[in-house]
């Protein structure tokens, strides 16, 4: 910790408006704007129900995380709680898994940016777009936390205004008749029913729906740099449920009412790639509103950059927290005088650069592969937050501490979340192409266990030498 104090420390430079928009920014990105294309193919209109279910589970987990971070607002978020209330390996695994999760999220968002640029310039290769925006976002994060907060505030503000505008425009088109004869609420059930591929179609889509909510827990990383965290964070978390209802469920109800879902799907698949473009953009192009389509394409582009911006911020803080705990090289605990963990950010950026390579080697399959790996890491993340919270509450109850921002339905809510993530893993095992990400989980856990044992033996050796020298 002494090294931290010599070089600088994190600044509480994030205001209430920054925290509110970061919470929102993490929740609205590629999963909704682009990932919904793959979900539509499997589930049809029943995807609306799927987003509502996953959103509710995400909210329960956010409340569990919120109870812990309001009680102890620290850098490193849930890795700190896993470490303190569950054990050394749990903290080690939680921290590194979270870091890998946001690396993969960053890679997915950079890939999506290339898809959106194709809407205007189809000949620009995805890897080139990824490379340009990789440099821009990392430059923002290397400046200072206030610049990050401002950038994220405006990125997220564009998304919010645009989605509200899209919902209003969509409703006007529906009820004024200007959307044409095909624009009717009956589209939600008239083309093969609400479950056109049966309930199994929705079940098979749940893994990709879950991808959309990976990012909500970013809020946990703002705790160490939030001004008045005990007031700001509960407010931001409680508003998540309304945002999910409006921005996910509300937007999808309007979107799928404007055109038959099968016609929308045919338009997306016309490019020979299930993720060739955003359904939100395609729908307005289909009904002849080109201006709205171009505007929305700009919005979904900024949405992807927003989530990558947030992920870059989180990765720097996660590595910093790991270094402070002794779970990452001590050199990464250095923070400069502006309050920026430069070394942690640069290491994270170097690994994220693989996105450019992946898009160069397998441009067609990059997004689906990255999305499935994100979900595998997210499953571990959510399970560890929920179980760490169980251990945290047991300790609080034992110590007679009544926390200020209590999670919903404890402990049944925790068990429900744990069962849900196991269900998602089961679904992923049934889907060819993404099964590999489930098989990768035990390998990843073994690698982490090996690294943890290595860390312990290295520490024991260092302590032994220090004791010998002192003697």
Rounded CA separation 245/175 (Å): 21
- CA-based nearest residue to 98, from 73, 74, 76, 71: 76
24 pLDDT tier (thresholds 50, 70, 90)? low
Averaged confidence pLDDT in the chain: 82
With a CB cutoff of 8 Å and minimum separation 6, the contacts of 139 are none
Kindly give the residue spans of alpha helices, DSSP state H, lying in 177-218: 198-212
Residue whose token pair is 């509103």: 289
447 pLDDT tier (thresholds 50, 70, 90)? very high
3 pLDDT tier (thresholds 50, 70, 90)? very low
CA distances from residue 170 to 74, 227, 257, 261, 297 in whole angstroms, order as listed: 42, 38, 9, 15, 16
Query: In this structure, what token pair is assigned to residue 434?
Result: 């993404």
Predicted local confidence at residue 6, as pLDDT: 35
- CA-based nearest residue to 74, from 395, 283, 324: 324
Q: What is the largest CA-CA distance in the chain?
A: 88
Q: What is the pTM of this model?
A: 0.84
Predicted local confidence at residue 106, as pLDDT: 83
Taking only the tens place, the pLDDT of each residue in 275-297 is 656 787 877 777 777 787 788 88
Taking only the tens place, the pLDDT of each residue in 395-410 is 999 999 999 899 999 9
Give phi and psi for 178, each to the nearest 5.
-75, -10
Predicted local confidence at residue 187, as pLDDT: 92
Predicted local confidence at residue 45, as pLDDT: 95
Q: What percent of the chain has pLDDT over 70?
A: 85
- CA-based nearest residue to 240, from 5, 45, 59: 59
Contact yes or no for 172/258 (Cβ under 8 A): no
Rounded CA separation 67/46 (Å): 33
Residue-level length of the chain? 471
Q: What percent of the chain has pLDDT over 90?
A: 23
Rounded CA separation 183/172 (Å): 11
Query: Domains of the chain by range and CATH?
Result: 16-458 (1.20.1740.10)
Least confident of 220-224, 369-373, 448-452: 220-224
Residue 200 pLDDT > 90: yes
How much is the CA Rg of the chain, to the nearest whole Å?
A: 22
Least confident of 59-68, 283-292, 416-425, 439-448: 283-292
Taking only the tens place, the pLDDT of each residue in 112-131 is 888 888 888 888 888 888 88
7 pLDDT tier (thresholds 50, 70, 90)? very low
With a CB cutoff of 8 Å and minimum separation 6, the contacts of 313 are 141, 145, 148, 152, 218, 221
2 pLDDT tier (thresholds 50, 70, 90)? very low
Instruction: For 332-367, give the DSSP string.
Output: GG---TTS--HHHHHHHHHHHTHHHHHHHH-TTTHH
On the question of a cis peptide bond just before residue 355, with omega within 30 degrees of 0, the verdict is: no
Query: In this structure, what token pair is assigned to residue 329?
Result: 């090289």
CA distances from residue 428 to 81, 139, 208, 439, 447 in whole angstroms, order as listed: 28, 36, 9, 10, 22
Partners of 414 in the beta sheet? Answer: none
Least confident of 11-15, 43-47, 353-357, 443-447: 11-15
432: left (phi over 0), alpha (psi -120 to 50) or beta: beta
């Amino acid at each position: 910790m002494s090294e931290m104090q010599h070089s600088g420390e994190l600044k509480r430079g994030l205001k209430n408006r920054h925290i509110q928009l970061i919470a929102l920014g993490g929740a609205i990105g590629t999963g909704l704007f682009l990932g919904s294309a793959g979900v539509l193919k499997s589930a049809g209109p029943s995807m609306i129900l799927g987003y509502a279910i996953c959103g509710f589970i995400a909210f329960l987990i956010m409340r569990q995380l919120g109870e812990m971070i309001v009680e102890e607002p620290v850098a490193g978020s849930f890795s700190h709680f896993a470490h303190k209330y569950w054990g050394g390996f749990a903290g080690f695994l939680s921290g590194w898994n979270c870091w890998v999760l946001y690396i993969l999220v960053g890679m997915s968002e950079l890939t999506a940016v290339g898809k959106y640029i194709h809407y205007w310039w189809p000949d620009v290769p995805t890897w080139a777009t990824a490379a340009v925006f990789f440099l821009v976002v990392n430059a923002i994060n290397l400046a200072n936390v206030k610049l990050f907060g401002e950038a994220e505030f405006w990125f997220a503000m564009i998304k919010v205004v645009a989605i509200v505008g899209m919902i209003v425009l969509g409703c006007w088109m529906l009820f004024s008749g200007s959307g044409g004869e095909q624009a009717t609420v009956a589209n939600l059930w008239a083309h093969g029913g609400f479950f056109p591929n049966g309930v199994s179609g929705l079940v098979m889509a749940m893994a990709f729906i879950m991808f959309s909510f990976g990012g909500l827990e970013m809020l946990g990383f703002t705790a160490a740099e939030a001004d008045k965290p005990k007031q700001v964070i509960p407010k931001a978390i409680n508003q998540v449920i309304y945002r999910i209802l409006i921005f996910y469920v509300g937007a999808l109800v309007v979107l799928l009412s404007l055109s038959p879902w099968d016609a929308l799907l045919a338009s997306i698949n016309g490019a020979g790639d299930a993720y060739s473009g955003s359904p939100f953009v395609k729908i307005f192009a289909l009904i002849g509103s080109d201006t709205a389509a171009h505007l929305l394409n700009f919005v979904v582009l900024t949405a992807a950059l927003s989530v990558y911006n947030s992920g870059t911020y989180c990765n720097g803080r996660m590595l910093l927290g790991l270094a402070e705990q002794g779970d990452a090289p001590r050199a990464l605990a250095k923070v400069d005088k502006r309050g920026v963990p430069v070394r942690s950010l640069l290491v994270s950026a170097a690994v994220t650069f693989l996105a450019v390579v992946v898009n160069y080697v397998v441009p067609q399959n990059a997004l689906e592969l990255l999305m499935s790996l994100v979900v595998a890491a997210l499953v571990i993340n959510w399970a560890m937050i929920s179980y760490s919270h169980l251990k945290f509450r047991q300790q609080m109850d034992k110590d007679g501490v009544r926390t200020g921002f209590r999670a919903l339905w404890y402990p049944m809510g925790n068990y429900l979340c744990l069962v849900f993530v196991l269900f998602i893993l089961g679904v992923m095992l049934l889907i060819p192409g993404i099964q590999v990400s489930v098989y990768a989980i035990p390998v990843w856990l073994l690698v982490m266990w090996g690294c943890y044992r290595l860390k312990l033996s290295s520490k024991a050796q260092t302590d032994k030498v220090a004791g010998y020298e002192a003697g």
